[in-house]
């Protein structure tokens, strides 16, 4: 088998076999296939696409390029969720404890934030002492014992995907739906869960800005999961404004705590309940409507919050911060951004809001960047809300870094108009 022949085959629009895809992934990971040939193959794939079976074979081949988690030792059906990345997305912090309180086994490996999107690990690490590093046996034992663990991904998860993504990033082949889908699903399949719900963000704060393209991605990822023997569903959620009110690590943890008390933003609660109901259904705990009712009861009776306390304690964190959020370190200054005219909040450039938070230190530009957990943004108004001149739209929680740049960016990112617009939160479901 020769790489040249496989490049030519894909260039001419033919489907590759499982063995051919495995040859490419293994050869490139081992350094036997040079970057220039892999670049050519990626570009041919970008233009000619892949069948669902090819995308599945690619995801599985990348999955087997490194460590995989076998979760068979965990009793019952293991559930997981994945978000394609957004601004203010603290769903895992609420969803995990909530579904675990309902009896599901929530076994999750999460990532860090980069660019304008926040990462679950960064948020969890803003809780003093929380340990994101557990070996596989400890991870499984904790899920068996309390129903939940959220840890960092193994450094050797899908090395083929890491190497291929770095090359895609510099060859103009990132926006290929088969390559995006295979990349995401290789990591989800490697994590070992039985049932997965994908939260595909769409809008000006998401990687997928077009609804139809986001639907194609969601459909393909669901199909890959099913062909790989998993139960997979996807929901498409709007990212034309941040999710909830808070953007920034500690601020989002505090908002998640409020949501677990039943006092959180309604948009965040709605997304959590939608995803949670599918996971409980797939875990065999309840039908979708009964699952929704069960989730609501646990969200409002304190059991979900207690499960977060259990999680934090189990992973070495100081759970007193969960019970007393005022203990979290606060930013040294809070700066209001006020409306300059009367009207309705018409639109937001969500990606710029995420970047503004990053300027303050809430995000990172490089993988090894340093996070300031205290800084960020808290919205007082969202799209559709009426404001009068001088009303506070948001508050910037800042220390010393990037204040002027963040304020200027935020001023440009929010538009006020004379007609009221509503945001459609859940754009669709792929079963």
Cβ atoms of 136 and 73 within 8 Å: the answer is no
Residue 161 appears among annotated catalytic residues: yes
Residue 273 neighbours by CB distance under 10 Å: 18
SS3 90: coil
CA-wise closest residue to 275 among 295, 252, 298, 304 = 295
Residues 6 or more apart whose CB falls under 8 angstroms from that of 167 comprise 35, 38, 39, 42, 173
Residue 397 appears among annotated catalytic residues: no
Residue 187 appears among annotated catalytic residues: yes
For residue 386, how far is the Cα from the chain centroid?
Answer: 30
Q: Which of 187, 215, 233, 397 is catalytic?
A: 187
In this structure, what token pair is assigned to residue 167? Answer: 């090359």
Distance between CA atoms of 360 and 108, rounded to whole angstroms? 29
Cβ atoms of 176 and 50 within 8 Å: the answer is no
Burial of 296 (0-12, 13-18, 19+ CB in 10 A): middle
Largest CA distance in the chain: 69
Residue whose token pair is 């085959």: 9
Residues constituting the chain: 431
Distance between CA atoms of 222 and 102, rounded to whole angstroms? 25
For residue 420, how far is the Cα from the chain centroid?
Answer: 30
Cβ atoms of 153 and 161 within 8 Å: the answer is no
Where do the H-state alpha helices sit in 261-415? 266-282, 288-300, 303-314, 320-323, 350-360, 403-413
Q: Which of 116, 123, 140, 168 is catalytic?
A: 168
Q: Which of 40, 183, 231, 277 is catalytic?
A: 183
Which residues have a catalytic role annotated?
A: 82, 161, 168, 183, 187
């Amino acid at each position: 088998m020769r790489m040249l022949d496989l490049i030519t085959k894909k260039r001419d629009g033919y489907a590759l076999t499982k063995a051919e895809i495995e040859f490419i992934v293994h050869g490139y990971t081992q350094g036997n296939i040079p970057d220039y040939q892999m670049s050519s193959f990626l570009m041919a794939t970008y233009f000619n696409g892949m069948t669902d079976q090819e995308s599945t074979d690619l995801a599985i081949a990348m999955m087997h390029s490194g460590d995989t988690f076998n979760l068979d030792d965990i009793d019952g059906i293991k559930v997981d969720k994945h978000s394609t990345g957004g601004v203010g997305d603290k769903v895992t912090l609420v969803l995990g404890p909530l579904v675990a309180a309902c009896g599901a086994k929530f076994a999750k490996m999460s990532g860090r934030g980069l660019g304008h999107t926040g990462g679950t690990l960064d948020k969890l690490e803003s809780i003093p002492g929380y340990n994101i590093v557990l070996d596989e046996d400890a991870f499984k034992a904790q899920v068996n014992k309390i129903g939940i663990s959220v840890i960092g991904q193994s450094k050797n998860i899908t090395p083929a995907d890491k190497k291929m993504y770095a090359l895609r990033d510099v060859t103009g082949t990132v926006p290929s739906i088969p390559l995006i889908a295979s990349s995401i699903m290789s990591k989800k399949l490697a994590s070992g869960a039985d049932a997965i719900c994908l939260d595909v963000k769409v809008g000006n704060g998401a990687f997928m800005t077009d609804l139809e393209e986001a639907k194609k991605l969601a459909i393909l990822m669901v199909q890959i999961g099913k062909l790989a023997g998993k139960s997979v569903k996807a929901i498409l959620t709007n990212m034309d404004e941040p999710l909830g009110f808070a953007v920034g690590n500690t601020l989002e943890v505090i908002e998640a705590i409020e949501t677990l008390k039943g006092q959180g933003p309604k948009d965040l609660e709605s997304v959590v309940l939608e995803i949670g109901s599918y996971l409980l259904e797939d875990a065999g705990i309840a039908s979708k409507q009964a699952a929704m009712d069960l989730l609501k009861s646990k969200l409002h009776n304190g059991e979900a919050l207690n499960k977060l306390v259990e999680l934090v304690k189990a992973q070495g964190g100081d759970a007193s911060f969960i019970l007393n959020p005022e203990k979290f370190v606060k930013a040294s200054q809070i700066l209001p951004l006020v409306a300059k005219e009367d009207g309705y909040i018409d639109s937001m450039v969500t990606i710029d809001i995420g970047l503004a938070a990053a300027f303050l230190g809430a995000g990172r530009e490089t993988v090894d960047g340093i996070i300031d957990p205290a800084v960020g943004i808290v919205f007082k108004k969202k799209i559709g809300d009426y404001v009068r001149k001088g009303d506070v739209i948001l508050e910037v929680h800042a220390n010393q870094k990037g204040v002027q740049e963040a304020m200027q960016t935020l001023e440009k990112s929010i538009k006020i108009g004379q007609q009221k617009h509503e945001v459609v939160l859940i754009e669709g479901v792929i079963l």
